[in-house]
Structure 1
Amino acid sequence: MPTPDRPLRSLGFLTIGLFDEHDPAGGHEATLRLIELGEQLGFDSAWLRHRHLQYGISSPLTVLAAATQRTRRIALGTAVTPLGWENPLRYAEDLATVDVLSGGRLNPGVSVGVPVHFEDVKDALYPDTADREDFGYTRVQRLIDLLAGRPASSFQGTEGIEAYSDHVQPHVPGLAARVWYGGGSLRSMRWAGEHGLNLLTSSVVRAEEGTDFAANQLALIRTFRAAHPDGEKARVSHGLVVIPTDSATPEQRAKYHAYAASRYERTRTPQGPNRMLFAPDLVGTSEQLAEQLYAHAAFREVDEVAIPLPFTFAPEDYVQILTDLATRLGPLLGWRPAE
């Protein structure tokens, strides 16, 4: 097996927390148990993804607030929050509150862009300001400024028996430095790097450097770090769907391979008007997966990963996958579980 340039320092996982429409409590509880298991297995981070108006977690921060009371060590993140659905001031207050509850373990991941199906949802989301909302980078900058303690109000002081602050409370020094940006274009990478953010890459990128996924992802990482004040030390988290089969049952193996095969066709050519490239899902033994990852040009550039769990699997599948990731694949990549 090839030797990596540097061992994997941080291993995390990501889920959208699917639930049955008729039993949402059961699905949310299963997600919380998965985060607890991740901590027990020594994972460094657990991430939740938004699913607005779908049967997945619509309020990751609320779920993470609950997770702060059931875990003590594992970092908790959003990957990613589409800020087009959020008011930066209110969201900054929520982030700071959950970070306080976690003891400083929160990693906010954000993205920009017009909300999905905006024409269908705009009358409920922004009934009075839909034509004036800015869904670009300035929305991220507003959030960062507010987390950093920049004034949110021109008033501070005491009014009657109530005291007012001019900036977000609770204020958490250092939280702004833990903001991650999720994007898939070279333009986004330059902006995120110039503004000193951390970078979340995923299994979807824009085809701007030919049609090879790894080459495009590598270009994103290098563009980001070239623009970042920390250069090569700028934090980048890699994310590909990786499914180890070491302890899987024959039925699980068949399911995993069928899942990857059903999604393979979309990885052959860029998709849609934005020419989005999808990475193939990787399924196999940990030894096979380690070789594939070490051969991946973009993977060799990072020492942090957040592996997305397939969205439609059963809880027992997630237990098997997380256990194999932590006990078999992770160590083959040079990673060691947290104490």
Structure 2
Amino acid sequence: MATKIGFLSFGHWMDAPGSRVVTGQDALLQAIDMSVGAEEVGIDGAYFRVHHFARQHSAPFPLLAAIAARTKRIEIGTGVIDMRYENPLYMAEEAAVTDLISDGRLQLGVSRGSPEPALAGYQSFGYVPEDGDHAEMARHKTLVFLRAIQGAGVANPDPRQAVSPEPLALEPQSEGLRERIWWGAGSRKTAVWAAERGMNLMSSTLLTEDTGVPFSELQAEQIQQYRDAWEVAGHHWTPRVSVSRSIIPLVDDESRRYFGIRAQAEARDQVGQTEPGELARFGRSYIGEIDTLIEELQEDAAVQAADTLLVTVPNALGVDFNVRMLEAISKEIRPALG
């Protein structure tokens, strides 16, 4: 069962009735305040989804560094950065700097990314995959990034200035960061790929495959295949595994007003397509009274198999609402789950 609980925010902002996050500045400043509040009520991690061309969080490192400067204990991370958009060497510098500011609290989730508003938006950023294989481009960039944060030489020295002929590594380096990189796997196959390359596993409420079994069982199978592959690979350290869940405890009139009517409708998996020809299974939401949520989460095979649970938050409802929800999860649900 999960020993750590974090929140995962998409950072939505909208000028709409009921929204308490109207602008991009609101989304960023409230993300910092929510992280401070989450730390105070015992939550272990503040994670942020990265999207481009959308009114959501996009550039994670300034935000994570700001949170690091305002907090002391809470992990800070992403879930996930779309590597198709990234310069892996510049990202390696940003990651190391952010990790040093946080004193080693960075937990960085990366992946191929997910469907987005832009058509091949990464090409607008200047990245065009060979043979059109954008997934392979993301994986290649990830491997370059991993080598860079391990201190590998990535540039030839200028002989007029060099004191050594050895290739130059990026600076600064942050010790231990390599073991805090996660791969957001959308299938059993990509989970095995992550294990073979020594990355922690981050699995969300969506799998881009469907075998007919409930989502939690399919995700638990993914986790087991990942751990089996890790053992075969023979890495020298123990990896972490996170799963994401939408969990809304109904603890007051406001939470019941917003979510009470949705509890039954969202209490089942959904099967659909994220892209043409790509069948996917979406996990259910957990909305209800505390005792009911405890019983349901105890029966979730993947929650029981993971060591980290990321709770997706409705950030548009503001800091106070979300911190109250997180406090109930931390202080009332977590102890009952072990």
Q: Does the TM-score normalized on the shorter chain lie above 0.5?
A: yes
Contact 1:241/1:310, CA 8 A, preserved across alignment? no
* Residue of structure 1 equivalent to 2:207: 205
- In structure 2, do the counterparts of structure 1 residues 215 and 321 end up closer, same or farther at CA, with 3 Å as the change threshold? same
Query: What is the rounded CA distance, in whole Å, between the counterparts of 1:286 and 1:209 in structure 2?
Result: 31
Residue 259 of structure 1, CA deviation: 4.5
Map 1:8-87 onto structure 2 (within 5 A): 8-20=2-14, 23-87=23-87
* Residue of structure 1 equivalent to 2:318: 314
* Residue of structure 2 equivalent to 1:257: 260
Count, aligned residues: 322
Residue 271 of structure 1, CA deviation: 3.1
Give 1:236's match in structure 2, choosing from 212, 233, 241: 241
Query: What is the rounded CA distance, in whole Å, between the counterparts of 1:299 and 1:199 in structure 2?
Result: 13
Contact 2:83/2:110, CA 8 A, preserved across alignment? yes
Query: What is the rounded CA distance, in whole Å, between the counterparts of 1:159 and 1:235 in structure 2?
Result: 42
Q: Secondary structure, in 3 states, of the residue corresponding to 2:301?
A: coil
Contact 2:191/2:226, CA 8 A, preserved across alignment? yes
Contact 1:181/1:198, CA 8 A, preserved across alignment? yes
Task: Give the % identical residues.
Answer: 26
Q: Secondary structure, in 3 states, of the residue corresponding to 1:275?
A: strand
Structure 1 unpaired stretches of 5+: 1-5, 335-339
Query: What is the rounded CA distance, in whole Å, between the counterparts of 1:47 and 1:156 in structure 2?
Result: 40
| 1:286-313 deviations in Å (ceiling 9; x for gaps) | 2211111111121221232111113543
- In structure 2, do the counterparts of structure 1 residues 313 and 195 end up closer, same or farther at CA, with 3 Å as the change threshold? same
Query: What is the rounded CA distance, in whole Å, between the counterparts of 2:114 and 2:174 in structure 1?
Result: 29
| 1:49-103 deviations in Å (ceiling 9; x for gaps) | 1121211111121101111110011110011101011011111110001001111
Q: Does 1:289 align with 2:283?
A: no
* Residue of structure 1 equivalent to 2:226: 224
Contact 1:202/1:239, CA 8 A, preserved across alignment? yes
Residue 119 of structure 1, CA deviation: 3.5
Q: Secondary structure, in 3 states, of the residue corresponding to 1:54?
A: coil
Residues 151-160 or 234-243, more deviating: 151-160
Q: Please, what is the CA RMSD of the aligned residues? A: 2.7
Contact 2:202/2:243, CA 8 A, preserved across alignment? yes
- In structure 2, do the counterparts of structure 1 residues 105 and 47 end up closer, same or farther at CA, with 3 Å as the change threshold? same
| 1:31-55 deviations in Å (ceiling 9; x for gaps) | 1100000111121111011121211
Map 1:87-126 onto structure 2 (within 5 A): 87-112=87-112, 116=116, 119=119, 121-122=121-122, 124-126=124-126
Query: What is the rounded CA distance, in whole Å, between the counterparts of 1:317 and 1:325 in structure 2?
Result: 13
TM-score, with structure 1 as normaliser: 0.86
| 1:247-303 deviations in Å (ceiling 9; x for gaps) | x22x421311345566568x3334343211111110112221111111112122123
